[in-house]
Structure 1
């Protein structure tokens, strides 16, 4: 099994459309790219208010499935979402009040990783679904490079 980690710079741009409102989030942080077997893991932090941060982990499986885990201890929130191109997946959001079951429908996903020089991009367009209702449309655009 191959296991190597490299420092990368990560830029994430998120566009969220919820209840008729459009919001944009941009994160630019150092991160770590690790390959374990046929999977690639990208870890980085998101700065929150009051000098807190959320830990973000993106896993790219060898079958093209993408896992997105976000944990923010200061807000007692943790989410785990799965994305498979043109498919529905189950996920969840953990809160201090319990676990909410969520679903995603991945309208489009693309992953491109280059080795020399190390760089890549992950694009995901998806709907977030709770209780059979679409609660938001998301555009996830992540770029990384060594």
Structure 2
């Protein structure tokens, strides 16, 4: 399966607790799974309002780190988040107003990938932190498979 792209179905359920409110987002989209070297990549698009979309890239490194890149070119929005189990990492959020440097704290993370048939899940519970203040608590639940 080295360097091969495999078409998969992606289901993402995300819960966000921010400013005293809970919001849920569910996404079901086609995607692609690729292994290159010792890292795995999952790419898919998120359909947004007004028929716009954001491209999502999830990278899983050999040591279990998870990198999450989200880019919506039409809105000039992008984010790059890094997750390491029980650790703080840098993060950046790009908007029309400029770049905000943030941090993530990964409270819990789980990656499971099985080959035959290809299926996997990625769970991340994390805090998004700006200027030493928690701006939101996130639960990221992603399931993919052929």
1:117-146 Cα distance to aligned partner (Å, 9 max, x none): 100000000000011100000000000001
- Give the structure-2-normalised TM-score: 0.98
- The residue that corresponds to 1:106 in the other structure is 106
Q: Distance in 2 between matches of 1:132 and 1:107?
A: 16
What is aligned with 2:30? 30
Q: CA-to-partner distance for each residue in 1:29-54, whole Å, 9 max, x for gaps?
A: 00000100010000000001111100
State the aligned residue count.
145
Which residue is equivalent to 1:39? 39
5+ residue gaps, structure 2, are: none
Aligned to 2:57: 57
Aligned to 1:6: 6
What is the CA–CA distance in structure 1 between the aligned matches of 2:44 and 2:31, rounded to whole Å? 4
- TM-score, with length taken from structure 1: 0.98
Distance (Å, rounded) in 2 between the aligned partners of 1:26 and 1:133: 27
Could you say what the CA RMSD is over the residues aligned between the two structures, in angstroms? 0.6
Q: Helix, strand or coil: the match of 2:50?
A: coil
